Structure 1
Amino acid sequence: MSQRLDDSELTERIDDLRAAFRGEILRPDDEGYEEVRSVWNGMIDRRPAVITRATGTADVVAAVDFAREAGLELSIHGGGHNAAGNAVTDGGLMLDLSPMDGVFVDPAARTAWVGGGATLGDIDSETQLFDLAAPLGVVSETGVAGLTLNGGYGHLSREFGLAADNVVSAQVVTADGAVRIASEDTNEDLFWAIRGGGGNFGVVTAFQFRLHDIGPEVYGFFPWFHGDDARTVLEGFREWTEDAPRHASAIPFVAHVPELEEFPEAAWGEPAVALLGAYRGDDFSQAPVVYEPILERATPLADLSGPMNFVDLQSMLDEDYPDGMRYYWKSIFVAEASDEVFDIMVEYNESAPSDLSTVDLWHLGGAVADRPQDATAFYHRDKPFMVTFEANWEDPEDDDANIEWAREGFAALESLDIASGRYGNFPGFADDPATMLFGDNYERLVDVKTEYDPENLFRLNQNIAPRGWEEGGDS
């Protein structure tokens, strides 16, 4: 790896870069720097030496070459929603892809090309013009790139697979500055690796997604129950999963009743259990029948379910996760939705220092599990459930209490024999070994990393180190 330039050399080189770079280049004293360096998680406060805002692939090549040759740590900002804050670096180069947010739909081919800086909302807005959708996540302001590179679960996963499973091809700028197309027929090893291997192998400047018939309306499933009914509702959910149709989804989570007019005022702030999902059958009147094993268990405090536009379903949670709030999220897979899992969820919900925090139980399987574990880099396809501790709070003085709460709850889950693995999109502070994400796929990923990024330029992630690389060294 190149030796880092001193400040005067760096300034001179940046002046040279400006001549070839079409997008905006920001230094710490420039107007707009403070806004652009900020990311979704308000806990993250890092100051890059330089920010390059790419307008196209040529800009990305120039920025990658510059970071490599100047010996600068490189971070990639797509949507900026990674809870670990990997989109921004201290003292290095932040490559901001957010201006590259174009979405181009081919309704005849049922595909869409999507820029590396696009959000889920950008895709949904364009694809829904043709009643099509890509299987993505559940918050519309999430960046497509980070979500997809780490797998990508959402409302459509059990029917159509992970976001990564629906990538047909991608344009990737690798560490040497080369532009490569990755697909089943071209650079097949790179294509395998970027579908679940995170941002370890290059900058994806564009994805081509396979689209599916969705919308314009779906039936949104969103009942809330009092915390006293949590265990019985969760038991109903477990029963429902035994033969749940793939075109119906449900994610139960324990929370606290929000202070909103839709909920009884007497219950505001009290523990609750809710489920968020979607039914996509032809007859929406059948949705309550499909969800009956859950709904028959207790009377909801409020039921926000009903027909809605798909884009509204996708953005329903946006206001719950605003920019600048403080987040610490961590997840683990479980082999069953056991009574012990339910007990931990209820116990830690009641002890949460923030009423904004939740513990979520994702129902997986379906189309995700149809593929072999080595079909792509994403390994944990065989797991039927995932539990996520979402610590969400506002006051910096509460950082330690909320992080400790999430870590203690996570440790309780991890102690169960049925718990294993990690999910790259809910990484804590990326403090777990990459082997926990990639399992038996790890050694093949090391081979791909060694071929395409032997100096580990792309290391601000759940890092897969190339063979022979030592942190802090020149090899």
Structure 2
Amino acid sequence: MDGFDGQALESLRTALRGPVLAPGDPGYDEARGIYNAMIDRRPAAIAGCVDVADVRTVLSFARDTGVEPAVRGAGHSGPGLCLVDGGLTLDLTPMRWVHVDPEARTARVGGGSRLGDLDHAAHTFGLATPTGIMSTTGVGGLTLGGGHGHLTRRYGLTIDNLLSADVVRADGTFLTASPDDHPDLFWALRGGGGNFGVVTSFTFRLHPVDTVGVAVTFWPVERVGEVLRWYRQFLPAAPEDLNGFFVLLTVPPAPPFPEPLHGRKMCGVVWCHTGDPGQDRLEDALREVNTPGPPAFHFTTPMPYPALQTMFDGLLPKGLQWYWRGDFFDTISDDAVAVHEKYGRALPTGLSTMHLYPVDGAARRPGADDTAWAYRDAMWSGVIAGIDPEPANAELIRRWCVDYWTALHPHSMGGAYINFLGEQESTDRVRGTYRGHYDRLAEVKRTYDPGNFFHANQNIPPAAP
């Protein structure tokens, strides 16, 4: 066994309340499986952490044995940075809990919770906070990277609604980061990824969100040019209670899509309206959808917010092959439109896709230096994702994604949402994602993790003394 012997493993099992699984143990292969089935790594052990005491114990064990650590929330890391061959995965999934204070409109969330846990707990009080678009995504990884989704134009990024975070450092020190306590760490946690410690709980501000207006509008993929040229003007000018992300996709063979559209390549927008409820208000907000030409499909309905958050879960379950890359954009130029036209027509598999998520509106109001998120001037966060259930198609989807990204990247702002970076990227790529904030992040890293203990991530090495 890499990193430590059987006696050491038994000592860890004895010390933890959570389970410890090693190669050969029943359940090990299932436990090492993450959302992206393209990742096939074999940690020396996976240690489930029930509470802060377990986290501190696992970190102490990793320090003493010299085994390489990685941290897993829900296992949604595209490049699989929550697993290291021969390393020790500190698994937070047992820490799935949410405590809502409806009067204060806050939620305290365990570090292993998923978006669906937060959505469910808050919804009973008619509340929510901006997160991603799939309920199976982990709260921790999404938040530490920034977090954007259906509520972003109205209420900002996930990090804009983070009030505090409980953190265990590499040396076992426990602290709470907030605007008043360890403000340098609090600044870094809001977009700086998992570089600084293990976050065992997050406290978020909640907003009144109950039933939202949902619409899905598709046009034939041959209309990508007309639709994007309309969308790039329409959405930034729309009220902030209307969010809509642009998508290239193959129509799935399932309701609510009519059978003649099944399997057809399309472009479209998935809309969320958080204004006054009612079908008429939603239709009024979308009265211009015919401008780029009549859509092939336009579906509208009121929906409880958690239902919208689960809309894609069944289409994209755990166990698919994934390869993705991303970039930020301040505009959708005509040259970029041409790239989208070319690669939209060439979608390689039925699940492969491209999304452009709006990050304007409320997400642009914080100051450029208020958080580690370095692209407050961006309008869209884009991701290209090659997806397929068959391992035999892994190279096909990877090549399409790389070619698409290579053609589109010159028309981007240069950096990307940290959670949309692919394999553990080069220092230059990570530096570009943080722009002028990189050196400040490296200083915070030196303060809180001077030995770069937490490096299984899009890593920011500590600044030199």
Give structure 1 stretches of 5+ with no counterpart.
Answer: 470-475
TM-score (norm 2): 0.96
Residue 411 (structure 2) pairs with residue 423 (structure 1): no
The letter of the residue matching 1:125 is H
| Structure 2 match to 1:235 | 229
Note if 1:447 corresponds to 2:452.
no
Unaligned segments of structure 2, at least 5 residues: none
- How far 1:283 sits from its partner (Å)? 4.1
Q: Contact conserved, 2:224 with 2:340, CA < 8 A, in 1?
A: no
Q: Percent identity?
A: 39
Give 3-state SS (helix, strand or coil) of 1:406's partner: helix
Alignment-derived partner of residue 473 in structure 1 = none
- Paired position in structure 2 for 1:208: 203
Offset at residue 196 of structure 1 (A): 0.3
State the shift of 1:264 in Å.
Answer: 4.1
Alignment of 1:89-100 (within 5 A): 89-100=84-95
Q: Which amino acid aligns with 1:268?
A: H
Bigger shift: 340-349 or 130-139?
A: 340-349
What is the match of residue 462 of structure 1?
458
Name the CA distance, whole Å, in 1 between partners of 2:133 and 2:325.
17
Match of 2:67 in 1: 72
Asked whether the 8 Å contact 2:32–2:41 carries over to 1, the reply is yes
CA pair 29-238 structure 1, distance change in 2 beyond 3 A? same
Pick from 107, 112, 116 the counterpart of residue 117 of structure 1.
112
2:157 aligned partner: 162
Deviates further, 118-127 or 350-359: 350-359
Determine the C-alpha separation between the residues in 2 that align with 1:445 and 1:177. 21
Mean CA deviation greater in 14-23 or 58-67 = 14-23
Whether the 8 Å contact between 1:254 and 1:346 is mirrored in structure 2 is no
In structure 1, what is the equivalent of residue 214 of structure 2? 220
Using a 3 Å threshold, how does the CA distance of structure 1 residues 71 and 232 change in structure 2: closer, same or farther?
same
Rounded to whole Å, the distance in 2 between the matches of 1:84 and 1:105 is 32
1:434 to 427, 430, 452: 430
Whether the aligned pair in 2 keeps the contact of 1:233 and 1:294 (CA below 8 Å) is no
**What is the rounded CA distance, in whole Å, between the counterparts of 2:413 and 2:234 in structure 1?**
21
Per the TM alignment, residue 230 of structure 1 is displaced from its structure 2 partner at its CA by 2.5
Query: How far apart in 2 are the matches of 1:264 and 1:278?
Result: 21
| Equivalent of residue 30 in structure 2, options 22, 27, 35 | 35
Superimposed CA distance per residue, residues 419-463 of structure 1 (whole angstroms, 9 cap, x where no aligned partner): 321111111113243202211000010011011111111111110
Residue in 1 that maps onto 2:181 = 186
Q: Any idea what the Cα deviations from partners look like across 1:163-200, whole Å, max 9, x if unmatched?
A: 11111011000111111110011111111111100000
- Tell me how far 1:258 sits from its aligned partner: 2.1
Matches within 5 A, 1:383-402: 383-402=378-397
Give deviations 1:85-132, integer Å, cap 9, x for gaps. 111111010111011010000011110100000000000000001000
Give the AA of the match of 1:29: G
Alignment of 1:297-312 (within 5 A): 297-312=292-307
Contact 2:191 2:371 in 1 (8 A): yes
Q: Quick check: 375-384 or 12-21, which moved more? A: 12-21
Distance 2:22 2:358 in 1: 44
Contact 1:50 1:94 in 2 (8 A): yes
Give deviations 1:370-420, integer Å, cap 9, x for gaps: 11121011111111122211111121121112111111111111122x532
Amino acid at match of 1:231: G
Residue pair 1:79, 1:98 contacting (<8 A) in 2 also: yes
Query: Following TM superposition, by how much is the alpha carbon of 1:273 offset from its aligned partner in structure 2, in angstroms?
Result: 0.9
Query: Residue 386 of structure 2 aligns to which amino acid in structure 1?
Result: A
Query: Which has the larger displacement, 327-336 or 290-299?
Result: 290-299
Partner of 2:244: 250
For residues 340-387 of structure 1, give each alpha carbon's deviation from its aligned partner in whole angstroms, at most 9, with x where no partner exists: 222211210211221211111222211111111210111111111222
Q: TM-score, normalised by structure 1?
A: 0.94
1:260 equivalenced with 2:257 (yes/no): no
Q: Is the 8 A contact 2:249 2:347 kept in 1?
A: no
Which deviations, in whole Å up to 9, do the C-alpha atoms of 1:195-229 show, x marking residues without a partner? 100000000000000000000x1101212222233
**CA–CA distance in 1 between the matches of 2:307 and 2:262?**
25
State the one-letter code of the partner of 2:55. Answer: V
Query: 1:410 is matched by which residue type in structure 2?
Result: W
Deviation of the 1:231 alpha carbon: 2.1
Of the structure 1 ranges 250-259 and 445-454, higher mean CA displacement relative to structure 2 is found in: 250-259
Instruction: Please tell me whether residue 279 in structure 1 is matched to residue 273 in structure 2.
Output: yes
* Residue 127 (structure 1) aligned to one of 114, 122, 126: 122
CA distance in 1: counterparts of 2:357 and 2:289, whole angstroms: 15
CA contact (8 A) 1:240 1:291 kept: no
Alignment partners' CA distance in 2, 1:262 and 1:306: 11
Deviation, 1:323, is: 0.5
2:246–2:357 contact (8 Å) kept in structure 1:
yes
Q: Distance in 1 between matches of 2:166 and 2:282?
A: 40
Which residue identity is paired with 1:387? Answer: G
Q: Alpha carbons of 1:335 and 1:28: their partners in 2 closer, same or farther (altered >3 Å)?
A: same
- Are residues 1:374 and 2:369 paired? yes
**Is the contact between residue 35 and residue 75 of structure 2 (CA under 8 Å) also seen in structure 1?**
yes
Q: In the alignment, residue 349 of structure 2 is paired with which amino acid?
A: S
* Comparing 117-126 and 25-34, the one that deviates more: 25-34
Deviations 1:27-61 (A, max 9, x none): 11211111111100000111111111010010001
Counterpart CA distance in 2 for 1:255 and 1:195 is 31
Q: CA RMSD in A?
A: 1.6
Kept after mapping to 2: 8 A contact 1:44/1:85: yes
Aligned to 1:106: 101
Task: Say whether the 8 Å CA contact 2:21–2:47 is kept in structure 1.
Answer: yes
State the shift of 1:338 in Å. Answer: 2.0
* Preserved CA contact (<8 Å) 2:439 2:463: no
Q: Distance in 1 between matches of 2:255 and 2:234?
A: 30
Tell me the amino acid that sits aligned with residue 431 of structure 2: T
More off after superposition, 229-238 vs 176-185: 229-238
Kindly provide the amino acid, as one letter, of the partner of residue 229 in structure 2: E
Question: Aligned equivalents of 2:113 and 2:72: distance in 1?
Answer: 11
